[in-house]
Amino acid sequence: MPTGCFCYILSDHYSYLNQYGSTVATKKKKSLAVYPGSFDPVTNGHLSLVERAIHLFDELVVAVSMSSGKNTLFDFEERIQLMTCALKNKSYGAKVRVVGFEGLLADLAKELKAVAIIRGLRAISDFEYEFQMALMNRKLAREAETVFLMPALSWVYLSSTIVKDVARHGGDVSDLVPANVRKALDKKLGRSNKKKK
């Protein structure tokens, strides 16, 4: 299991004692978590969180929000396509799927019967906002716990905003995002697809 995360872990089985004092294992329902975000664009930090989450839950739904409250570089359909393509070559199989959603995250969590909402924390500065959102989601969807995960140490500083700023100013982001995202950024910003040295 990857290091660098703090959360609760759902076991595949739970045990109880029957009337004869023997331990009986009972199969639990599959656990599903939802990982929401604008993903404008998806970065290696986002993929790091996906990698961590799938070790904790049976299924993961990556939920791309239509209305993120941000002026996005990529439109809704583009962001869904970029995330889908970024995950395509991973060995996750049916454990991970990508959906788009509009409206309240809590409603999506209830619709999916999610047991957890995955949120990434990069620094203490993220925590106040994320804490407020976690409390509101708990009020609206009590069945889903918010689980905070940290990306790999290599990506703690990374955000979509930083990637876009670097790309807009001609910097090389090929080590920060999946290959399909780098090509999409080059095309969107009218740059050559050749990797800068």
Round to whole Å and give the CA distance between 119 and 49.
Answer: 8
CA distance 41 to 78: 9
CA distance 83 to 64: 8
* Among 46, 52, 79, 119, the one annotated catalytic: 46
Instruction: Find where tokens 């990857």 sit.
Output: 2
**Of the listed 122, 138, 183, 188, which one is catalytic?**
122
Residue 52 among the catalytic residues: no
Active site residue 88: no
H-type alpha helices, the chain: 44-53, 76-88, 105-112, 124-140, 160-168, 179-188
What residues have CB less than 8 Å from 54, skipping those under 6 apart? 60, 92, 95, 96
Catalytic residue selected from 31, 119, 160, 182: 160
Of the candidates 190, 151, 133, 153, which has an alpha carbon nearest to the alpha carbon of residue 43? Answer: 151
Q: Which two tokens stand for residue 132?
A: 């407020």
Catalytic one of 30, 70, 97, 168: 70
Residue of 58, 77, 69 lying closest to 105 (CA atoms): 69
Q: Which residues pair with 24 in a beta bridge?
A: 16
Q: Mark whether 68 is an active-site residue.
A: no
Task: For residue 191, indicate whether it is catalytic.
Answer: no
Catalytic residues: 46, 70, 122, 160
